[in-house]
Structure formats: structure tokens, C-alpha cells
Amino acid sequence: MNIPIAQYIKEIPEENIPDGLHEKILENIRLYKFKVKFTFAISVLATNFLFSLWVVFSKIGDSNIFSAFQYLLDGFEMNTAYLTDVANAFTQFIPMEYIIMLLANFFVMGYLIHISKKFKKLLLHSR
């Protein structure tokens, strides 16, 4: 009696998968999903950072800040009164909230870049 090969081949066992492979695959997928969200967050923050940078630079461009600072530089003195004058002149041209916004964006961006480096390492170690 002859029997189709297919019947036998279907019964031959496959290789056993290594321990933990199933979990590693799922972990990779979870990290990938996180990476997508993370990339989106970084893009939003980068846009925000560039926008705030643009706002500050346009404020500088619109003002006669350079001539004001030139005047201050000409009368340079290393004392508290002089430094207070410089700070006051600066905040007159660029409002403090813009500066805070720019600095906050700058630090958040830096922090996210730092986290993304750690995240990259995490992805490599999950392999």
C-alpha cells in the first residue's frame, strides 16, 4: 500500500524554539510601540523648541537690542549695578516668559535625547 508523503511530512516535528524567544518577540513589539509614541513626542517638542527659538530671534531682530548692548558695553563696569542694568535692558527687549519658555524647551529636549540614547541601549539588549 502506498501513502502520500504529505501525510508523513505534516507529522514531522519542527525545531523547538529557544526558551524565552516568545517573550523576547513580544518585548520587542512593546518597545517598538513605545518608540513610535516617543518619536512623536520628540517631534512635537522639537517643533515647540524651534518655534520658541524663532519667536525669541524675531524679537531680537525687531528691536534695537544690538545698539542698546553696544551702549552698555561701552560703559562696561564690573559691579552689581551695571549687571542689573544689562539684565533689565535684556528683559525689556525680550520678555522673561519667552526666555523661560526657550530654556525649558531646551532642557526638555536635552533630557529626551538622553532618554532616547538609553532607550536605544535597551532595544539592543532585548535582542
Partner 1 sequence: MENLEEKKKIIIAAKKGDMRAFEKILYIYEKRIYSHLYRMVGQKEDAEDLTQTTFLKLYKNIKSINLDKNFNAWVYKIATNTAYDWLRKKRGHPEQFMEDMGTIETIEDETAYDMIESLENKDAIEYAMNNIKKSYKSILILFYREELSYQEIADALSVPLNTVKSNLYRAKKSLKEQLISKI
Separation in Å, CA 90 to CA 51, 60, 76: 20, 10, 15
Q: How far is the CB of 23 from partner 1 (least distance, A)?
A: 10
Per the listing, cell 545698539 goes with 67
First to last CA, the chain: 50
Considering the complex, state which of residue 24 and residue 117 has its C-beta at the smaller distance from partner 1. 24
Considering the complex, state which of residue 35 and residue 59 has its C-beta at the smaller distance from partner 1. 35
Grid cell at residue 126:
532585548
Judged by the rule CB under 8 A, the positions of this chain that interact with partner 1 are 1-6, 8-12, 14-18, 21-22, 24-26, 28-29, 32, 127
Q: How far is the CB of 2 from partner 1 (least distance, A)?
A: 4
Instruction: Name all contacts of 77-85 with Cβ < 8 Å and 24+ positions apart.
Output: none
Considering the complex, state which of residue 108 and residue 123 has its C-beta at the smaller distance from partner 1. 123
Q: How far is the CB of 119 from partner 1 (least distance, A)?
A: 16
